[in-house]
């Protein structure tokens, strides 16, 4: 057994900010499935949104967030997160984050941060570090965590289950409610499962866009935290609202990476194969409309023409400005022989971000006692039915900081007797070779039937298929030694089912959920959250 005061599952901005804060109160274990850098935060290109300009207002940022979320966001949550944004961006600067400045001769004062604009924003309010904002944040956070004597880091370790009443023999009478006392964690180097016992556990495992074959996420984004919380008895909220990023790089071989929305913020325009622009036909903000609108517009135009991609044209932007602001995108495109100062970029929408997740408060509190959640794994009410660009890092930062300073972190916890993991000795490789194809099948089904435009008939078909897959994978999981690939496939199936069930519950179109059977919004019946 490994005893800690705090257990953090995940190594992105939410997990590491929480770890740094609670390290003031005790020993912290940070458990991550791959390396610390394998997370969506490190993939984040565009930036972090906040009111950092004297001509901008908190009210304007709140209004943009509420409108982008199709009026399903919680205004009190929106207001609090947005008003705390500037203070906590200064916190990141103090930790060593190297944001891009307006004037390099001055220090990192907030008023000196260079700002860009992204889709859905009515003002330039996105602070960035060229096109590698997330990576710069991770460099600072990881450095501070590694030098902190109260933080131990466990890489290449996957959490299998949260330790709750479900695992405890309650001989002395029932313990009411559900509490979390840590997690069972497998060390991939040995396949040995350890008990990580902790007074408080933070779920910061990110999203689950890997349920789709075509996505922008790292391989680790398999919904592990959402699935573990669901199995333990926590509620999930608004799982039907999956944001598709409009501009993922398209290639004939299927390789993809994100083309930042900030490129459109600087003037890049979406065009069809004939060179004509089209977004002005769908929204007054044109190529800078909210992401759900741009993705649906691209999807509609491509299907109308039987094409697989459209073009993002940045050739009218000054070439030196392009290369200096977007060095990562420039280098990746050159790998494919594309000079984006002279040629348009082939793009198509790809699954990107979960607006829903484990139901949680602005302090990161969940249905389960002693369990916090922050970042993409959580649903706080900020995003509503569709996330405003660059609000994701902001939300993760604010919620994790709140959670890390919550008074309950100082509570004593009475631990029950936690049984060791019942590890089976055998692993049927031959059977797994057959079952492992289910992972690919889940992605194909979700792409085809639960994508940007949905129908109830195909949603029901997808649900039936994936429920059968879950039964098959879970049966294998129950009767074989645990392995990462098995746990991930189980989790993917659990989250895919949750997404489809939520989509079937919402018989209207709102934000990132578009139902061709019911293309209009129905505020009378569905201006509510979907809770499962």
User: Catalytic positions, please?
Assistant: 291
Gap between the Cα atoms of 398 and 396, Å rounded: 6
The single-letter DSSP state of residue 266 is T
Question: In 10 A of CB 109, how many CB atoms?
Answer: 11
Q: What are the φ and ψ backbone dihedral angles of 441, each rounded to 5 degrees?
A: -65, -40
Gap between the Cα atoms of 224 and 490, Å rounded: 9
Gap between the Cα atoms of 153 and 5, Å rounded: 14
* H-helix or E-strand spanning residue 116: strand 115-116
Question: Among residues 231, 187, 202, 228, which one has the least CA distance to residue 10?
Answer: 202
Gap between the Cα atoms of 364 and 316, Å rounded: 44
Residue with tokens 């004297």: 54
Cα 165-168-172 angle, rounded to 5 deg: 100
Gap between the Cα atoms of 312 and 181, Å rounded: 49
Question: In 10 A of CB 347, how many CB atoms?
Answer: 23
* H-helix or E-strand spanning residue 202: strand 192-203
- Is the four-CA dihedral 239, 240, 245, 248 of positive or negative sign? positive
Tokens of 398: 């604010």
Residue 342: Cβ-neighbour burial (10 angstroms; 0-12, 13-18, 19+): exposed
Buried b (16+ CB within 10 A) or exposed e, 388-414: bbbbbbbbbbbbbbbbbebeebeeebe
Do 363 and 402 contact (CB within 8 A), yes or no? yes
Gap between the Cα atoms of 9 and 375, Å rounded: 12
Cα distance from N-terminal residue to C-terminal residue, the chain: 33
Gap between the Cα atoms of 460 and 453, Å rounded: 14
Per DSSP, the residues of 63-88 read HHHHHHTTT-S-HHHHHHHHHTHHHH
Residue 489: Cβ-neighbour burial (10 angstroms; 0-12, 13-18, 19+): buried
**Where are the strands (E) in 355-417, listed by range?**
357-359, 371-373, 378-379
Question: Among residues 422, 122, 354, 419, which one has the least CA distance to residue 215?
Answer: 354
């Amino acid at each position: 057994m490994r005893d800690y005061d705090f257990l953090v599952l995940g190594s992105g901005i939410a997990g590491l900010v929480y770890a740094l804060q609670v390290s003031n109160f005790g020993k912290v274990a940070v458990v991550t499935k791959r390396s610390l850098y394998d997370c969506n935060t490190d993939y984040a290109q565009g930036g972090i949104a906040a009111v950092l300009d004297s001509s901008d207002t908190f009210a304007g940022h709140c209004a943009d967030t509420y409108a982008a979320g199709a009026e399903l966001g919680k205004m009190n949550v929106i207001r609090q997160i947005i008003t705390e944004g500037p203070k906590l961006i200064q916190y990141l600067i103090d930790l060593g984050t190297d944001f891009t400045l307006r004037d390099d001769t001055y220090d990192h004062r907030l008023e000196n941060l260079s700002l860009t604009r992204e889709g859905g924003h009515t003002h330039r309010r996105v602070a960035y570090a060229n096109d590698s904002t997330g990576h710069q944040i991770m460099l600072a956070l990881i450095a501070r965590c590694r030098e902190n004597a109260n933080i131990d880091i466990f890489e290449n370790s996957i959490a299998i289950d949260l330790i709750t009443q479900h695992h405890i023999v309650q001989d002395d009478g029932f313990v009411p409610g559900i509490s979390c006392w840590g997690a069972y964690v497998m060390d991939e180097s040995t396949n040995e499962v350890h008990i990580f016992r902790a007074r408080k556990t933070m779920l910061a495992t990110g999203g689950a866009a890997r349920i789709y074959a075509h996505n922008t996420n790292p391989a680790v984004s398999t919904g592990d935290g959402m699935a573990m919380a669901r199995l333990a008895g926590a509620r999930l909220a608004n799982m039907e609202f999956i944001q598709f990023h409009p501009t993922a790089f398209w290639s004939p071989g299927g390789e993809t990476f994100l083309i930042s929305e900030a490129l459109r913020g600087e003037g890049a325009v979406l065009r069809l194969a004939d060179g004509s622009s089209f977004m002005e036909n769908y929204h007054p903000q044109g190529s800078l409309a909210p992401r759900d609108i741009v993705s649906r517009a691209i999807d509609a135009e491509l299907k109308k023409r039987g094409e697989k991609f459209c073009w993002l044209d940045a050739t009218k932007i000054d070439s030196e400005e392009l290369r200096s602001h977007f060095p990562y995108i420039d280098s990746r495109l050159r790998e494919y022989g594309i000079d984006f100062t002279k040629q348009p970029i082939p793009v198509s929408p790809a699954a990107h971000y979960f607006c829903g997740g484990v139901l949680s408060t602005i302090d990161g509190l969940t249905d389960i006692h002693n369990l916090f959640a922050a970042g993409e794994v959580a649903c706080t009410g900020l995003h509503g039915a569709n996330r405003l660009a660059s609000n994701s890092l902001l939300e993760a930062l604010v919620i994790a900081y709140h959670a890390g300073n919550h008074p309950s972190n100082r509570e004593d916890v009475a631990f029950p007797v936690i049984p060791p993991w019942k590890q089976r000795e055998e692993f049927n490789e031959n059977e797994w070779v057959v079952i492992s194809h289910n992972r690919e099948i889940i992605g194909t089904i979700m792409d085809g039937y639960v994508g940007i435009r949905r129908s109830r008939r195909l949603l029901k078909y997808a649900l039936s298929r994936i429920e059968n897959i879950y039964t098959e994978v879970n049966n294998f999981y129950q009767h074989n030694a645990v392995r990462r690939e098995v746990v991930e496939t189980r989790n993917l199936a659990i989250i895919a089912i949750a997404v489809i069930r939520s989509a079937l519950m919402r018989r209207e179109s709102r934000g990132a959920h578009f139902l061709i059977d019911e293309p209009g919004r129905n505020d009378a019946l569905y201006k509510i959250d979907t809770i499962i």
